[in-house]
Structure 1
Amino acid sequence: MTSKTSGSPPPDDLTPPPQSMPKVNKVTSGDIAASLRAGLSDFLARPVMSGFFGLFYAVFGLFFVWCLLWLGKVWMIVPAAVGFPLVAPFAAAGLYEMSRRLQNAQSFGWLDILTVMANQRNREMGWMAFATLFILWVWFYQFRTLLVIILQDSSFSDLDGFLDTVFFTPEGWTFLAIGTCVGAALSAVLFSVTAVAMPMLLDRDIDFISAMLTSIRVVTENPAVMLTWAAIIAVAMLVSLVPAFLGLIFTLPILGHTTWHLYQRAVAPAEG
């Protein structure tokens, strides 16, 4: 006798459909200008809360520099000052959430924003932070390597002595030329993988690899516009470091809010 099984037969294909990559839009200088206006508007809508994130970042920067001086690692101040703005997108997670809620006309308080930030540790943001800090570590390592190879016979015990060696000696000029080229390459890589990846990870249920690849596509498909945006970030952040990092109280939140709006323009909304 032939046995019969009850129930419907299983489907032929149990493999879930592959997740489609987000669609990348063309962006223009007008998108940057509009995003800056929207970012400034978000800052003015919640200046105290926005400024808090900038203040926290500024205090951390001052503490970091103090630690380097205390440890006698004077040479690390220069690469730290250059690399410091590169990790700002990760520090701006709370600003992205604020802009998202303001854009959707949702009310929120301190607890709402801090809770969302805390929850990111259980999502892909932690892996994105690891990738960011790894590239930053490579930047410090290559800076130290070039320092040893090119300025091996030089000695400096304070920041003034280090800057004199770098800017007023032939060896220092060689060090600057090579270090600038290597640093520019690493900065380009880091900017490309983080340009819109951070706000995307907060906004969507997406893995960090897909977010990084989408960010790279945004940069490669809009090279001139995104290079302009990178230059705006670099100049604004470096100028903000001059007055004892205090300029970051304003520039970091405005740039953070702006990044959210630029991401909204550069990446098409998720389907469904």
Structure 2
Amino acid sequence: MTSEITGTPPTNPTPPPQGMPETNIVTVDDITASLKAGFSDFLARPVMSGFFGLFYAVFGILFVWCLVSLGKIWMIIPAIVGFPLVAPFAAAGLYEMSQRLQTGESFGWSEILSVMVQQRKREMGWMAFTTLFIFWVWVYQVRLWLAIILQDASFSDFDGFMHTVFFTQEGWIFLIVGTCAGALLSAALFSVTVVAMPMLLERDVDFVTAMLTSIRVVRDNPVVMLTWAAIISATILLSLVPAFLGLIFTLPILGHTTWHLYQRVVQPMENESIAAS
């Protein structure tokens, strides 16, 4: 089974800066079509796709277990809420699968894993650094607000922490302030990564070009990209409820979908070559 991209999105009416990939204006219909293509990719290789979701879920479970073991109870909520921030980097193998399914190219575990290993020699490592840096900024800004707003609170156990956060006036202030700060960080990270990750996998471009292209996509398609960000966040957060196990299915589908949305919002390389000539 191979995935296809149906329809031709309208081209961007304003040309990009020289050397930058050209982008398209898309609609919510493109998200719907990309979701269908992403689900088709998942069904084509459910075991391999599910492996990446399982790996992500196991990492999340171990991460929370380590926080509990180390007594870092306060970090559990910001870690869970910030978990979607690193999802695009975790989906690199899924992008490669979708690319090969789209072209009808056969592949196995060795081909996909070797492509992922090769990314460490390219610009993907810088994007991983950017993603993890913003994630840690998110965690430590939560720690800052905890110290300022809940300075006298005791977090000796998880139940006590939950009670303080959700059933006290200071806890509600902490949630409001933390949510606003987290929304700004999430918007910034989403803007620089929404198409940057699949672009770095497909093209020989530097990570700055990929991030600038991603920002331009969000700038030109604010409503559509906001809708896509909301879908990603809501889906992943709901998937965390059953002990992270929902990620086995949702992360692969979202990863495959991201590839197809990228294909719709960034013009193919051959189009750029023709335009340049």
Report the TM-score when normalising by structure 2. Answer: 0.91
Structure 2, unaligned stretches of length 5 or more? 1-16
Counterpart mapping for 1:117-136 below 5 A: 117-136=116-135
Partner of 1:101: 100
How big is each residue's C-alpha offset from its partner over 1:49-69, in whole Å with a ceiling of 9 and x where there is no partner? 000000011011000000000
Partner of 1:196: 195
Structure 1 position 156, deviation (Å): 1.8
Counterpart mapping for 1:37-48 below 5 A: 37-48=36-47
Give, in whole Å, the separation in 2 of the partners of 1:128 and 1:165: 36
Identity in percent: 76
Partner of 1:12: none
Give, in whole Å, the separation in 2 of the partners of 1:160 and 1:104: 51
Partner of 1:138: 137
Partner of 1:261: 260
Read off the aligned partner of 2:28 and give its amino acid letter: S
Q: Could you say which structure has the larger radius of gyration?
A: 1
Q: Are 1:251 and 2:250 counterparts?
A: yes
Give, in whole Å, the separation in 2 of the partners of 1:83 and 1:197: 19
Structure 1 position 19, deviation (Å): 6.0
Helix, strand or coil at the partner of 1:173: helix
Helix, strand or coil at the partner of 1:153: coil
Partner of 2:156: 157
Counterpart mapping for 1:1-272 below 5 A: 20-270=19-269, 271-272=272-273
Read off the aligned partner of 1:75 and give its amino acid letter: W
Read off the aligned partner of 1:151 and give its amino acid letter: L
How big is each residue's C-alpha offset from its partner over 1:147-183, in whole Å with a ceiling of 9 and x where there is no partner? 0010001112112111110111111111111111100
> When the two structures are aligned, how many residues end up with a matched partner?
255
Give, in whole Å, the separation in 2 of the partners of 1:268 and 1:56: 32
How big is each residue's C-alpha offset from its partner over 1:204-252, in whole Å with a ceiling of 9 and x where there is no partner? 0000001001001111110001000000000100000000100000000
Structure 1 position 85, deviation (Å): 1.0
Give, in whole Å, the separation in 2 of the partners of 1:236 and 1:70: 28
Give, in whole Å, the separation in 1 of the partners of 2:160 and 2:232: 29
Structure 1, unaligned stretches of length 5 or more? 1-17
- Bigger mean CA offset, 134-143 vs 255-264: 134-143
Query: Deviation above 2 Å: which 4+ runs of structure 1?
Result: none
Give, in whole Å, the separation in 2 of the partners of 1:226 and 1:159: 35
Structure 1 position 254, deviation (Å): 0.2
Give, in whole Å, the separation in 2 of the partners of 1:128 and 1:156: 34
